[in-house]
Structure 1
Amino acid sequence: MEPSYEKESQKQSDIQEAIERKWDIPNFTMKEIREAIPAHCFHRDTFRPFTYLFHDLFIMGTLVYGASYIHTIPSAAIRIALWPLYWFAQGTVAVGLWFIAHECNHLAFSSSKIISHSVGLIVHSALLVPYHSFRITHSQHHKANGHMNKDTSHVPLTRSQRGLPKRELDPVSKDEHHNMFDETPIAMLWHMTFILTFGWALFLLFNLSGQDYSTDKNNKSTWISHFNPYCPLFKEKDFWQVTHSVIGVSVMIGILTWIVIPYLVMDIWIVVVTYLQHVHPEIPHYRGDVWNFQRGAALTIDRSYGLIVNHIQHHSGETHVVHHFFSTIPHYHAVEATKHIKRVLGKYYIFDDTPTITAFHRAWKQCRFVEDEGDVVFFKN
């Protein structure tokens, strides 16, 4: 049966932003992408990932040992200069350790659930991340990346959630800003600093940037958090795993007081890396039938942070696209797998080489909200 004019008109309006932006909705299949990657890239070695774990722990231990001698340096100026360098270095290395634990989430560390979950619980707890809680919601994120109504992280606020008038009644043009105060350097610096410093903790504690459950009739909890086993992030069967995760973090809180600043540096890195992997002014989000897994996975962005940081953080920044397609690929195969996946994705593979600070500022300034309607929606400011 031929579709009616009204349905065709609605279908056209649902992807109107894609048409205006000249965004081609891809039609590649997961089979095509998987076949482009050599089989050995999917192999998980039980011994090899422990070498990376001990590599990170050794560097962190060396930094702690070196920092223990800073107070012996006669020059106060040198001591003052060395502490920030230590904090930055230690926080940067800790992100590599965080990504090792993150691979445990996906069983990319080892095909053994016992090994992966044991290592992940210990390492993530040490970094104040509730392991199983994050593993459960992160799995949901991978299954629905880029979906406006199902994704669990980096979900854009809509026009109505921003408290803005409907598009047809909005006096502000699409090239103008709705709140000029928010665009002042001081206000932007304050908001960016706040998110960089506390954004990761707020995501875990209060589901910041996560899915909105306020209209969920089955939601019996007002505290949407990775630390609340009763909230709609989790199912009833997840209760004890979430509880064990909370216990692990609670134990670690008592140990962390003297290394708070490196921990904050690590948090800042996590916010920057994950934010820039999913937020870009030219990348849309999908709704309805337009979304499928591979289209959503292709809405992620690779970027390089330089030779040293890429090595320390296990190339997580420059291989995030392939990670979203096949999360069980270990990081030590991800660079090679990325080379192959680029051939299949073609123009749909996204790599952004904009300097990090510039890219973060651009995304923060331009990616404020998306429209309440439409199956392909782009960020607006």
Structure 2
Amino acid sequence: MSKDEVFVPWTRKELGAPEFNPAGEDLLGTTVSQEIKRELYEALGDSPIGTFVESMAYLLAGLPLYLLYNTSGQLRYPEGTNHFNPKSVIFSPHHHGQIVWSDFGIFVWLAAIVAGCYYWSFAVVFRVYLVPYLWVNHWLVLITFLQHTDPLIPHYRAESFTFQRGALSTMDRSLLGDLGPVMGWIAAHATHGISETHVLHHLTSKIPHYHAWEAAAALRKKLEGAGIYRQGAPGGWMEVYRVLRECKFVEDEGSVVFYKNAYGVAAARPVFAERDDGHDSGIELNN
């Protein structure tokens, strides 16, 4: 909640949802009265058309908005944080020259695009460059969004965060597997298993993609033996739609939090077990 760079959940307060009401709901989102559900749903809205439009906007404009305005990024960063200001809080001082040169290259390329519009026409540039550009952006956002967002993924605040917990706050998914095994096989091999072996990548990014399948299978067996399941539903456009409907906000308090939907109901909850050192250890349990 305080260290991640992107796909950081909105809290109830940040989203502007009605304040938590202990008389009709619990923090874990397991028990919510019908009155509170109606109040939250009316405030947040969750219409199919609205979610579809949100999905399209997210997939097509999500990356430029993140780069320009830190949309869906770390909320503790100051307003106006972006990836083009060399003095931005997201960069270290030694990055200054690299960002300046990167911005220079971007301006040169923008000038080339404008020149292309003048020389060939905007329609030609739109067809041969801007549409493919948005298509690539769409795939990048779809894959990374589904890797890091799901109602079953826990999110940790500073007091409970460890590298291992943060690394396991992700999902492996069969990219386009919802369109059948053939499309799933094509998508997986065309992208070198970037979606299917993502949990492994979080834990150790030094394993090359051509060994990732074998390593991911071994890791999955090890994790499932400990009761940790990180195989999500197949990734695709319908899954983006479902996840956006199920993942609205998290609570403003709690060291381990899960997403709640527009009714204030969470799909999972943390439970705590006493460790040998006397501290609590968060373990997720599905409702």
Q: TM-score, normalised by structure 1?
A: 0.56
Counterpart contact for 2:174–2:196, Cα < 8 Å: yes
Partner of 1:375: 255
For residues 1-381 of structure 1, the aligned pairs below 5 Å read: 148-168=1-21, 173=32, 176=37, 178-180=40-42, 182-213=45-76, 222-255=79-112, 257=125, 258-305=128-175, 306-346=184-224, 347-354=227-234, 356-381=236-261
Unaligned runs of 5+ in 2: 26-31, 114-124, 176-183, 262-287
**What percent identity do the matched residue pairs reach?**
38
CA distance in 1, matches of 2:143, 2:149: 10
Residue identity opposite 2:172 in structure 1: D
1:344 deviates by 2.1
Residue 70 of structure 1 corresponds to which residue in structure 2? none
CA distance in 1, matches of 2:97, 2:249: 36
Amino acid at match of 1:363: V
Q: Distance in 1 between matches of 2:210 and 2:241?
A: 31
8 A contact 1:213–1:232 mirrored in 2: no
Question: Who is 2:268 aligned against?
Answer: none
Residues 349-369 of structure 1: per-residue CA shift (max 9 Å, x gap): 411234623321121001011
Partners of 1:339 and 1:327 lie apart in 2 by 15
Give the letter for the 2:17 counterpart: L
Cα root mean square deviation, aligned: 2.2
CA distance in 2, matches of 1:341, 1:317: 15
Output the CA distance in 1 between the equivalents of 2:112 and 2:143: 26
Letter in 1 for 2:6: S
Which whole-Å CA distance do the structure 2 matches of 1:174 and 1:378 have between them? 19
Contact 2:174 2:235 survives alignment (8 Å): no
CA contact (8 A) 2:250 2:257 kept: yes
Residues 67 and 84 of structure 2 are in contact (CA less than 8 Å); yes or no, is this contact kept in structure 1? Answer: yes
In structure 1, how many angstroms separate the alpha carbons of the residues matched to 2:187 and 2:222? 28
Query: Quick one: structure 1 residues 355 and 313, their matched pair in 2 at CA, closer, same or farther if it must change by over 3 Å?
Result: closer
Between structures 1 and 2, the one with greater helix share: 1
Q: CA deviation at 1:318?
A: 0.4
Check 1:286–1:241 CA distance in 2 against 1; reply closer, same or farther (3 A cut).
same
User: Structure 1 residues 241, 174: CA separation in 2 closer, same or farther (over 3 Å shift)?
Assistant: farther
Task: Name the amino acid aligned to 1:229.
Answer: P
**Higher share in strand:** 2
Structure 1 residues not aligned, in runs of 5+: 1-147
What number of residue pairs does the alignment pair up? 228
- TM-score, normalisation: structure 2: 0.73
> CA shift at 1:247, angstroms?
2.3
Q: CA deviation at 1:255?
A: 4.9
1:254–1:188 distance in 2 versus 1, CA, 3 Å: same
